[in-house]
Amino acid sequence: MNQRVTIVYCTQCRWLLRAGWMAQELLSTFDSELDELTLKPGTGGIFEVYANDQCVWSRKDAGRFPEITELKQVVRDVIAPERDLGHIDRKKKLNL
Amino acid sequence: MNQRVTIVYCTQCRWLLRAGWMAQELLSTFDSELDELTLKPGTGGIFEVYANDQCVWSRKDAGRFPEITELKQVVRDVIAPERDLGHIDRKKKLNL
C-alpha cells in the first residue's frame, strides 16, 4: 500500500515555512515507511494533515497547531501503528 | 488543470534537506500557480523533478543538480509558460 501524508496550509497566513519544516520532520522520522509527502497551498487559515487520506490534524478542530511530537504520533498511528517512536512515546506515558 | 510538481530524492545520499529547500523555493515562487508539491523518497542516487508528470530535471541525465534559478525556469516552462521570472530571466538573457 502506498503510504502518504498531505499537509494543507494557508498561504495568506504564510504557513509555508511551518508546513515545510513539518514535512521534513515527518520524512526524516518515517524515512522507511513514507512513500510520499505532499504540500498543498490553501487559503482561509487552513492547516490540515492527512495520513492516507485520513485527517489526523485540523487546526480548526483542535484550535491550535500540533506539537511536532504529537503530529508524529497521530501520523504513526495510521501509517506504522506498530512503530515505537522512542522517547516521544515514553514521555507521553510518563505524563499520564 | 491541477498543477503539480514532484521531487524524487535519494534518502541514502541524505538529499532530503536539499529537496525540502527546493520544494519551499518552488512553492514560494509559484504560490498562485502550484496546486501541490510532492516529496518522494527514493534510493540509488536518484534526484528527479517532475512538473505535471513531465521530467524537467534528472541528476543522472544532467550529471549535476540544478541551480535553483534554472529549476524555477524549467518548472515555469511547464506550469506557467507565460510567467516572467524577473531578474532570473533577465540574467539569463544577458548571458547569451
Q: Could you tell me the pTM of the whole model?
A: 0.92
Give the residue extent of every domain in chain B: 4-94
Q: Which residue of B has its CA nearest to A39?
A: B37
Q: How far does the CA of residue A43 sit from the closest CA of chain B (Å)?
A: 11
For domain A4-94, the CATH class is: alpha beta
Contact A35, A3 (CB under 8 A): yes
Angstrom distance (rounded) from CA A18 to CA A15: 5
Chain B residues within 8 A of A38 when measuring between CB atoms: 36-39
Q: Note the pLDDT tens digit of each residue in B48-70.
A: 999 999 999 999 999 999 999 99
- Burial class from Cβ neighbours inside 10 Å (0-12, 13-18, 19+) for residue B49 reads buried
Residues 66-95 of A with CB under 8 A from B: none
Angstrom distance (rounded) from CA B77 to CA B3: 12
Closest CB to B36: pick one of A20, A31, A38. A38
What's the ipTM?
0.91
- Is B52 strand, coil or helix? coil
